[in-house]
Amino acid sequence: MSTLIQHGTVVTAASTTAADVLIENGVIKEVRAGIPADGHDVIDAKGMYVIPGGIDAHTHLDMPFGGTTSADDFETGTRAAAFGGTTSIVDFAIQARGTRMRDALDTWWKKAENKACVDYGLHMIVTDLGSSGLEDMDEMVDEGVASFKLFMAYPNVLMVDDATIFKALSRTAKNGALICMHAENGSVIDVIVAKALAEGKTAPIYHALTRPTRAEAEAVHRAIAMAEIAGTPVYIVHLSSEDALNEVREARDRGVPAFAETCPQYLLLSIEELERPNFEGAKYVFTPPLRTKENLPKLWDGLKHDHLQVVSTDHCPFCFEDQKVLGKDDFTKIPNGGPGIENRLQLIWHHGVNTGKVSLNRFVEITSTAPARIFGMYPRKGEIAPGSDADIVIWDPNALHTISAKTHHMRVDYSMFEGFQVKGNARTVLSHGEVIVDRGEFLGKAGRGRYLRRTARGGAWK
């Protein structure tokens, strides 16, 4: 089985070259101009960019939250990802308090197997170190779970105290895993939230108004300081504000290995969305919340100058009609999350590359190569070079597309980007050399995606 992608422009994080790509047995064999077509299946990529498949390092498929479950499972979520040019995801298994991490890993493997259409890795959300948690972390690393997420928000649900965070960070200093932090001061936010509810402020907008950017910045600062003390890198998830960004930049300027991601919603949407009438603001309730408009150009700037390294989605869809309504009379009961797994590349291309905010190479870096490196998948993923998995997107820079819930493939009844027009879209998507999406048609199948065993001491350590 061999496939030749001909006449395209190969774009990686490092270079842009006119070259053909030869694939054999799911792996890239050769990348150079003028590879003869003899005997291979040929895909014509004339006028197209040939880029590494997107990697979404932050998704929540089939995830229980607040008495309901995120609307996409591993089948519908990864199929939607594929349509948008994303060929690997890293989702989150959640350790339930008082249980072993192994139980959570088994549970999430079961959710994914026979369902995933693209490759998937797992982070482990640590809620409790108990008496065996530190050994459990080592065991998870052996299973390819090379990263852990801890929450500084959601007291009594997911939040852990600073001692737990510091112990976990210190363990990664030994086992080479990476700690991902949800950085918001949950204790302070809870006080502000209680006050708002007592004053009868129950509408969706109060979700955003009760979570100040300083609460995010304070937690980012504290997370980085604790990582410094532990002598280990740290990765801030879904960074949303200039305040928080300043903390990351300040640390990186001092040479601290602090990393951070942001998401399309923080780059493109702002707090006004939560004031939409008829409770529609609930469609934009996720955490951290949308911020004021002044933050948006600062985040783009952060991406351009590598103060932010990754764009992920935090895809966590809840249907408006039967899930978001749980918080109709109380914004704290609105399931937190929004859909986006399908639209990440389209949005960042259109609003980043087309406008000159990020270069072609930087686009590939923030959507694929950097997450591959940071999370221990490089060079198997995130690269177009001999030996890498043939996860490749043939990207049509001229394709016009209007984002809409009517046509998207995510199993959710609204889009946060409804009506957004984009120029540039995935035409053909290959995973392990197999065409799984071509010209809007899904050709893959559920269960073909493989579990990604990731290695410790990835790029965050170098």
Q: Which residues bind Zn ion (CB under 5 A)?
A: 314
Please state the closest distance from residue 337 (CB atom) to Zn ion, in A: 7
Please give the Cα distance from 225 to 169 (Å, whole number): 11
Closest approach, Cβ 428 to Zn ion, in A, equals 30
Distance between CA 334 and CA 16 in Å, rounded? 45
Question: Quick one: 94 or 372, whose CB is closer to Zn ion?
Answer: 94
CB of 424 to Zn ion, least distance (A): 26
Of 60, 84, 94, the C-alpha closest to 314 is 60
Dihedral sign from CA coordinates of 273, 278, 280, 285: positive
User: In this complex, which beta carbon is closest to Zn ion, that of residue 90 or of residue 224?
Assistant: 90
What's the start-to-end Cα distance of the chain, in Å?
37
Spatial distance between the Cα atoms of 149 and 158, rounded to a whole number of angstroms: 10
Considering the complex, what minimum distance in angstroms separates the CB of residue 58 from Zn ion? 6
Q: Which two tokens stand for residue 83?
A: 């349509």
CB-nearer residue toward Zn ion: 314 or 391: 314
The distance of closest approach from Cβ of residue 418 to Zn ion in the complex, given in angstroms and rounded to an integer, is 22
Q: How far is the CB of 381 from Zn ion (least distance, A)?
A: 20
Report the residue number, 316 or 377, with the smaller CB distance to Zn ion.
Answer: 316
Segment holding 265, helix H or strand E? helix 264-268
The distance of closest approach from Cβ of residue 60 to Zn ion in the complex, given in angstroms and rounded to an integer, is 6
Nearer to Zn ion, 242 or 314 (CB): 314
Q: Which is nearer to Zn ion, 288 or 433 (CB)?
A: 288
**Cα 225 to chain centroid, rounded:** 24
Whose CA is closest to 437, among 57, 86, 89, 91?
A: 86
Nearer to Zn ion, 314 or 365 (CB): 314
Please report, for residues 106, 167, 172, the alpha-carbon distance to residue 135 in angstroms, rounded to integers and kept in the order given: 17, 12, 11
Closest distance of CB 132 from Zn ion, Å:
26
Least separation in angstroms between residue 314's CB and Zn ion is 4
Burial class (CB in 10 A: 0-12, 13-18, 19+), 64: exposed
Q: Is the distance from CB of 180 to CB of 235 less than 8 angstroms? A: yes
Least distance between Zn ion and beta carbon 269 (Å): 16
Q: How many CB atoms within 10 Å of residue 198? A: 8
In angstroms, what is the minimal distance from the CB of 336 to Zn ion?
9
Cβ-based nearer residue to Zn ion, 51 or 63: 63
Distance between CA atoms of 176 and 74, rounded to whole angstroms?
Answer: 28
Q: How many CA atoms lie within 13 A of 363 on its CB side?
A: 28
Residue closer to Zn ion by CB (options 54, 288) is 288
- Give the Cβ contact number of residue 445 at 10 Å: 12
State how far the Cα of 443 lies from the Cα of 460, in Å rounded to an integer: 35
Nearer Cβ to Zn ion (184/314): 314
In sequence order, what DSSP letters do the residues of 7-31 get, joined into one string? EEEEE-SS-EEEEEEEEETTEEEEE
Q: Rounded CA gap, 267 and 297, in Å?
A: 8
Q: Which residue is nearest to Zn ion (CB)?
A: 314
- Closer to Zn ion by CB, 136 or 314: give it: 314
> What are the tokens at 291?
């911020």
